[in-house]
Amino acid sequence: MKKLIALLALASIANLAAAADVVGNAKAAENKVSMCIGCHGIPGYKATFPEVYQVPMLGGQSAKYIVSALNAYKKGERKMPTMRGIAASLSEQDMADIAAYYSQQK
C-alpha cells in the first residue's frame, strides 16, 4: 500500500511538472478562441443557464488565472455546465495557448 501511495505521489508530481513545461502560444490560439468569442467577446453579456451569470471579459487576464479557471471547470470545481463541456475538450496545450492569447489582449 505504501508503494502504491508513493507511486501515485510521484505520478502527480510528474504531471504537475509536465503541465508546468507547457508554454502557451498566442498565435496558435487564434483558431482556438472562436468558441470563446460568442460569450466572452460581448461586453456586458449574461448567460442564463442554469442561472444568470455575468460573463467575464477575458482580455488582459493573467495567463495563469485563465489556465487555473479552465482546469477548475474541467475538474468540475467550477459549476458552469457550458464551460465545463468546453474545458473538458481542451488539452493542456490548448489551455496554455488560449491563456497566452487572452493575456495579451486589452
- Condensed to tens digits (0 to 9), the pLDDT of residues 26-71 reads 999 999 999 999 999 999 999 887 788 899 999 999 999 999 999 9
Whole-prediction pTM: 0.76
Find out whether 95 and 66 touch, Cβ atoms under 8 Å: yes
Query: Domain map of the chain by residue range?
Result: 23-103
pLDDT band at residue 93 using 50, 70 and 90 as cut-offs: very high
Going by C-alpha positions, the residue among 14, 24, 15 that lies closest to residue 67 is 24
pLDDT at residue 88 tops 70: yes
Which CATH code of 3.40.50.970, 3.30.1490.20, 1.10.10.10, 1.10.760.10 fits the domain covering 23-103? 1.10.760.10
d(CA 59, CA 103): 6
Output the CA torsion 88→55→60→43 (10° steps): 140
d(CA 45, CA 39): 7
Give the residue carrying C-alpha cell 448567460. 47
d(CA 105, CA 63): 11
d(CA 31, CA 29): 5
Percent of the chain whose predicted confidence (pLDDT) is above 70 = 81
